[in-house]
Chains A and B, each alone.
Chain A
Amino acid sequence: MTMTDYYTLGDPVADTKAPDGPIETRWERRRFGAKLVNPANKRKLTVIVVGTGLAGGSAAATLGELGYQVKSYCYQDSPRRAHSIAAQGGINAAKNYRNDGDSVHRLFYDTVKGGDFRSRESNVHRLAQISVQIIDQCVAQGVPFAREYGGLLDTRSFGGAQVSRTFYARGQTGQQLLLGAYQALERQIAAGTVQMHDRHEMLELIIVDGRARGIVVRDLVTGEISTEFADAVVLASGGYGNVFFLSTNAKGCNVTASWRAHRKGALFANPCYTQIHPTCIPVSGDHQSKLTLMSESLRNDGRVWVPKAKGDTRVPADIPEDERDYYLERIYPAFGNLVPRDIASRAAKNVCDEGRGVGPGGLGVYLDFAAAIGRLGRDAVEAKYGNLFEMYQRITGEDPYSTPMRIYPAVHYTMGGLWVDYDLQSTIPGLFVIGEANFSDHGANRLGASALMQGLADGYFVLPNTIGDYLAAGPFPKLDGENAEVAEARKLVEDRIEKLLSINGDRTVDSFHRELGRIMWEYCGMERTDAGLRKAISEIRELKAEFWQRAKVPGDGEGLNQSLERAGRVADFFELAELMCIDALHREESCGGHFRAESQTEEGEAQRDDDTFSYVAAWEFGGDTPVLHKEDLTFEYVHPSQRSYK
């Protein structure tokens, strides 16, 4: 098949909302240029926010404080459980409290470069500017960040950054930031500005007269389907890493809200950009249901190695020093064990592909603390990493003080997402997308401690300022179930549920999801090739067809039915998986988390092709043949260079 059998080329897209001129003043000028909503009119305007993580929780709380009527939805039993809660490392901010040369410009520069020159300068600069306000906001809310003995905030250097700009709360930064946003949200619920709908799942977007005007939701406890209306809809529904089945995402994380919007016309940008984290606990068997991340900070003191010989099954203690290959130190002498995430991940894959992996199935490498314990003493290592060592022991039953940890890469974050302009509005008027669900700030690779920063920047500061420009034209005409477009959206949901329940086949939904994940990991994971991606697309299509013939979804739609919930999500993952592979197939270059084997330097490093691929790939839904719209990226402030870590 030729490329045009997989997709067609549409008109280019442009971000028309970002002002030009000096980058330092763009955000200020955009805010000044945006229309304002009279305070008395705000309470006549309703906004739906889907998802209650850092982006959705902070947005709903802030919109409520501004006086809008907010309706908030999450699939969990409480907004406090969104998966932002599991983020460990920290949050970046250009405070320069350390006087170590940090600045807004440096954070901006590092983020554009770290994203491998596939993000927008305007967006990233705004993110760096806002980062300083986020820390102020969170401290005012009582987020218990780590502090020095003088009572001021502590910071650390993270993910290879040369400045110390990462604020943290032990290994639970995400939890503490999310609880801050959750508490602000609960305050607004008590004040009556936010109506909370937990255990509700968005299953369709309602578009009336070309504007996003509501959603169709299912009450997961009663099974009731209802239509919910608003003047604008905000999706803060997170990333789609669970398309791989095994990932560090929570089990419930899904793409359904984004995918339903995509099917209704919202462009989906750069779906193939996924981040694979190098330090996760390896798979222990066929029963594995999810993967657990071990903080990247472990690489500061742990040494990564595998046996030099293939198929060496000796226990690590029996392998003498000269028969070990400390491959990161060997290949990257300058950065050693601290090379960026994508490089560390791919190197682990390479040694395992050579047959030198360790542990069950040969899919693991050692992360050895013997040298650190020898140098610093066991107590010092315990003080630094004690809680991580305990977690490792709890899961694996092995003691990392006496035997090396085994680690392996796992899917962790998705940089791609729904396309948004500078105002965070999608291509559907009135549909805004924030946090991991959009694509805007991380390019082809996200830096450590930047996900929390982006989620909160979008939710607390960007969206509440930009959405007013859209809402100033409202309130829009009242809607009810009689409206043809509303009735049609509702019927789509009801028909789909009925269809899923009526297949009554002989294979479980999870078994399909596992198989889909295996295909994606194999062909659209750490290393992608033209032939592999073509194979993946055809296998996914076959499996998708089989799913609709053979899936077994027990029970009915009348009450709590967790199998039905999963079936709907997996059905959407099939469609997304196809698009991810098509995106990866068309991007015949390596950049950030996307490594195409055909595009590498002589030393085996990723090779970008700026002449051909310096654009955002924004896909329009088109069934089997999506339509590609390109948004050209231009770099006025940070000049593209090739990364080197040798």
Chain B
Amino acid sequence: MSLKLRIWRQADARDKGSMVTYQLQNVSPDMSFLEMLDVLNERLTLDGEDPVAFDHDCREGICGMCSLVINGVPHGPEKATTTCQLHMRHFTDGETIDIEPWRAAAFPVVKDLVVDRRAFDKIIQAGGYISAPTGSAPDAHATPVPKADADLAFEAATCIGCGACVAACPNGSGMLFTAAKITHLGLLPQGQPERDTRVIDMINAHDEAGFGGCTNTGECTSVCPKGIPLETIARLNKDYRQALRASS
């Protein structure tokens, strides 16, 4: 198939940036979206133009590095699918495809389609862990965990930290990401001692990093490649209120 690509080009963080149009022929429906960009970049390189910079690594939907807004939707049209797992058979011959970076105050553009997501690491640093220095652990069977809690904790823990939730949110909020970690650790007995400080510290770090507030729009969960549910944010709110009460 042949495609018209309109791609965000921005030389560096200071550059203003603009959409640039490219024509691409002979795209195979079996290509992944990123392989289609590889083909474009091979051509640009041989033509002496600057190839398009984009983040990617595992290309199997788990590392969370790929991050493209495709036709206005983070990770493109397929549900529960990262950009690297999206294939060209979902597009049609002659189609125009817009490709943009994540756009959010907390994720400044580095170059072209590459953004800086270190604000997520800052949220984890504030308390997204259980303090268990190496060597200090009791036997793994010392504390049984009800299967239902373990399964729910696992569901929340599958978050890949890609940031699609932030890119989709009209407020640029990182609440689904934060709530996923609060839910994962808060459901486990090992996570209880730090439960209150964790939620307060992580929310403070979230706000300081420049993310917006949550207004329950739900765009986050609809684009989440791992299907992290909106209820995790309700759980975060409950934990947050409890923690504030306990601390006052």
Contact = CB atoms under 8 A, between A and B. Distances in A.
Contacts of A76: 57, 63, 65
B76 to A, nearest CB: 12
Contacts of A306: none
A171 to B, nearest CB: 10
A179 B62 CA distance: 12
B95 interface: no
Interface of B is mostly: loop
Given A149-B147, A183-B124, A559-B111, A251 B129 contact: no
Interface string A68-91: 000000001111110101100000
A85 B160 CA distance: 9
A36 to B, nearest CB: 15
A80 B64 contact: yes
B53 A560 contact: yes
Interface string B120-135: 1100111011111111
B231 interface: no
Interface string B133-149: 11111111101111100
Contacts of B150: 144-147, 151
Contacts of B144: 147, 150-152
Contact of B161 (A78, A189, A190): A78
Contacts of A85: 58, 62-63
Interface stretch (A42-50, A100-108, A284-292, A469-477): A284-292
B190 interface: yes
A119 B126 CA distance: 42
Contacts of A251: 56-59
B85 interface: yes
Contacts of A376: none
A461 B140 contact: no
Interface stretch (B40-48, B167-175, B208-216): B40-48
A52 to B, nearest CB: 11
Given A76-B65, A136-B140, A395-B87, A141 B60 contact: no
Contact of A147 (B46, B134, B135, B147): B147
Interface in A177-229: 179, 182-184, 186-187, 189-190, 196, 198, 221
Interface residues of B, number: 80
Interface stretch (B1-9, B28-36, B233-241): B28-36
Contacts of B141: 97, 152-153
Given A147-B145, A562-B53, A141 B129 contact: yes
B62 A287 contact: no
Contact of B60 (A182, A292, A555): A292
Given A136-B139, A152-B141, A251-B56, A61 B134 contact: yes
A164 interface: no
A187 B129 contact: yes
Given A289-B34, A395-B87, A78 B117 contact: yes
Given A136-B137, A563-B51, A86 B131 contact: no
Contacts of A153: 140-141
A144 B153 contact: yes
Contact of B45 (A80, A97, A169, A563): A563
A175 B62 contact: yes
A5 interface: no
Contact of B59 (A290, A506, A560): A290
A139 B121 CA distance: 22
A370 interface: no
A151 B63 contact: no
Contacts of A402: none
B216 to A, nearest CB: 26
A154 B135 CA distance: 23
A145 B140 CA distance: 10
Contact of A560 (B48, B89, B111): B111
A179 B134 contact: no
A552 B41 CA distance: 12
Contacts of B87: 394-395, 397
9 contacts: A136-B138, A141-B129, A152-B141, A152-B144, A169-B157, A183-B130, A248-B60, A292-B60, A397-B30
Rank and list the top 9 A-B pairs by shortest CB-CB distance, nearest first: A151-B144, A140-B137, A183-B129, A140-B132, A144-B154, A136-B137, A190-B125, A284-B30, A139-B140
